[in-house]
Structure formats: structure tokens, C-alpha cells
Amino acid sequence: MSKNFSALNMAVQQVAELDAQLLRRKLRITESPCDTKASVGQRELKAFCSNDYLGLANHPKLIAEIAKGAKLYGVGSGASHLISGHSIAHDFLEKKLASFEGKHIPNARALFFSTGYLANMSAITGLVRLAEQGEASIYSAKLNHASLIDGVRLASAQTKAKVSLFDHHDLISLENKLQQDTHPLKLIVIDGVFSMDGDIAPVEKLLHIAEHYDALLMVDDAHGFGVLGEHGHGILEQASVHSERIIYIGTLGKAAGVSGAFICAEAHFIEWLIQKGRPYIYSTATPPAIAHTLLTSLELIEGDEGVARRKQLHQLIQIWRDEMTFSSWEKTPSSTPIQPVIMGSNADALAAAKLLDEAGYWIPAIRPPTVPVGSARLRITFSANHSVDDLRELIQTLKMIEQTIQGAS
């Protein structure tokens, strides 16, 4: 290495520093489809870490549909949506997605994106531009997903929108801030299901607040879409809310088992985002075959199979909550398939993940900055493809690991 190549020296040093703080992350290569068993480095591991909550990522019907979609539409879209990339498969999908949320958002229209990250960037930066420079306020929950945080930061840099953070357990302080806010555009931004804690946002109360203070409420339901509500329509169905102030974000690479995301909102907001949502405008449209595959995924979610898969998930969640009571590790009030076990220190979380690996499990340690400092954890997630026996075995293994770690300290 050349002595004067300072950027490269910095990279070497910075990564060494992460290593020393036990914060270096490592990629692990999986050799199998996403399912409850994963082949990693030629070993078969029992995986409790994906977001494939309904177990659709390796579903034979979807595998058949993606092949059919490729025959119908080829493999690439070739351009962004506003040039020539907007296929009839995208249009079918957007209409179906709008019908999913239409009971909760009047005059609903949906806009499909290649990722949730992109949907969030577009929604936040685009909506804030409805107001003049410096005339918007954004209220963002402290534990929001990184893609929302980044969307808020970019929007604020572009438009000088004022940003306030709030604790989603303390809505009084949110109201106090809104009371003093004279900006014509106010946007409240929140995760529907908090991705690292698994608790559900109080959307009903938030909507009430949004209505009272003339704000928009943007809910990122990445972990609720497909999982919550009788038909899997997500948090709006579960909370039974209805308002044209709701900007709904669903992602399609988690419970829906494929890839992509969407914004669903009152049609005028969507029309505006098509005009001004830069990440939407300047990105190549997702392959239409993906949109085609998602149509079947939505049918599975809504239909009997989805109902049965959600029932299985709820059984797993109930058993976990009943049977993990022996553990002194901290848990969260989660009623979703995201069930964290919080160790606190990075070292303990890494030790637990390593012992789990030795016992044949794949459950990585989640450390800062993904979670707040001092709350490193195992983020355990369930899939409808897990059996009750799979779960009971995991609980027994965790029991032994907790004893080992506590014996060592």
C-alpha cells in the first residue's frame, strides 16, 4: 500500500477500530433459498432471523409465477417509470395494492417501488416539497428505521424543513410540539411495527393527533403488511382506521416474500409524488416479472392460505411469550413475529449468537447503531414455516445458553 494514499489508510484504520469495539459486521453467504433451514458454509442451520414472516420467499406458486412473468415481460424494465418502464404488470399490481388499503384511505392510489428504502426517501422528500422552503415540519419517532431517518435528513437538507424527534410512548410531548407549530405542512413519520423491538405503533391515537393539528401521518408498515389484520392488509386493518391523512408504506420483500415496496395514499398525493418524488423518477422501474409475481403473493396473503399462515405465526408468538418467562434477559412487549432478547453488551450478544451458531442456529447479534448503545440483542423472528417443535427446541437451546453466559460472568 502506498504510504501517501490517505483515504485507503483511513479505511484500514476505521475498520480496525470497529473490530476493536466489537462493532464490525460480517457478511455470511447463504447457499440455499430463504427458508427456515439455511445452508451456510456447507452447514445446515435453523434460521430464526429472516423477515419472511409468512414463509412465502420459497413458495412453489411464486417460483412458478416469476418464471411465467419473465416469459410475459422479459427480465428487465429497461427504463424509469416516466420514460418507458411502466408496464401493465406494474399497473395491475398498483391497483391491487390500492384495493388492499382502500378501506382505510379514501380515493386510494398506490405507487410501486423497487425497495422500501426508496419508497421512504421518495415519500418524505416529495411530500415535504408540497410546502414552500422552510414551511414544513417533520415529526419523526426516535426508533424509526434508518430509511425513514435518512429520508427525513435528506428532506430537511433540501427544503429546510424543521425536524423534531419524539418518543412513541410519549405522545403528550408530541402534542405539545405540534401545538406551537404554525407551519402549513406537518408530517408525522413512524414505523408501524418497530423493526428491532417488535412493538406496534399507536396509530389510532396518532391519527387522532394528526387530525387535531392538521398533520399528515406516514406509517411505514414494513413488518406489518401481510402479518397484521384479518386479511393481512397490515396495521391499518388491524387498527381499523380510516383517513385521507394517512400515507401508508408497505414493503414486499418481507412477509410478501418477493421484493419491492409501495406507497398508498389519497390519489392527489400519489400524483404529486409521480411529479416530484426524485428517487421514483430517477430510478429504473423494477422488472415487471417481479410485479407479476407479487400479484400471486397478494392473493396468497389475502386468501385462506394467508389466514392459516398468520394463525400459525400467532400460535408461535403465544408459545414464545408463555414459555420464555424463565429468562432474565430483557424482552419487549411485542405481539408480532419480531421477538428480541436484549443482552445489553455487544460482547454478550455476540457470545450468545456464537453459542447459537455452534448449536446449529442462525440468529445474528444486532448491535449499535442498528439499536441504541447498551441494548445489543438477538433479534429472533418467526416464520409460518417454523413448527411448534422448531420453536420449543430453540427455547430449550436459549435456556442452556443463558446459563452458560451467566455462569461465565
Ligand X SMILES: *Cc1c(COP(=O)(O)O)cnc(C)c1O
Nearer of residues 55 and 253 to ligand X, judged by Cβ:
253
Nearer of residues 340 and 402 to ligand X, judged by Cβ:
340
Residue 35 neighbours by CB distance under 10 Å? 17
Residue 294 identity (one-letter amino acid): L
Long-range contact set of residues 356-360: C-beta below 8 Å, sequence gap at least 24:
356/397, 356/398, 356/401, 357/45, 359/397, 359/400, 359/401, 360/43, 360/44, 360/45, 360/46
Minimum distance of ligand X from residue 118's CB (angstroms): 7
The alpha carbon of residue 322 and the mean position of all alpha carbons in its chain are separated, in whole angstroms, by 26
Q: Where are the alpha helices (DSSP H) in 55-142?
A: 60-73, 88-101, 116-128
What are the residue numbers of the active site?
Answer: 195, 223, 254
Nearer of residues 288 and 348 to ligand X, judged by Cβ:
288
Minimum distance of ligand X from residue 227's CB (angstroms): 12
Minimum distance of ligand X from residue 202's CB (angstroms): 16
Nearer of residues 87 and 114 to ligand X, judged by Cβ:
114
- My answer on whether omega of the bond before 369 falls inside 30° of 0, hence cis, is yes
Minimum distance of ligand X from residue 360's CB (angstroms): 26
The alpha carbon of residue 25 and the mean position of all alpha carbons in its chain are separated, in whole angstroms, by 20
Asked whether 382 and 317 are in contact (CB, 8 A), the reply is: yes
How many angstroms separate the CA atoms of 43 and 251, rounded? 30
Please give the angle made by the CA atoms of 249, 286 and 32, to the nearest 5 degrees: 90
Residues that bind ligand X (CB under 6 A): 115-117, 120, 145, 147, 191, 195, 220, 222-223, 251, 253, 261
Minimum distance of ligand X from residue 62's CB (angstroms): 17
Nearer of residues 224 and 229 to ligand X, judged by Cβ:
224
**Which residues lie closer than 8 Å to 264 by C-beta, 6 or more apart?**
97, 98, 100, 101, 105, 108, 109, 110, 111, 247, 248, 249, 250, 270
Residue with the CB atom nearest ligand X in the bound state: 116
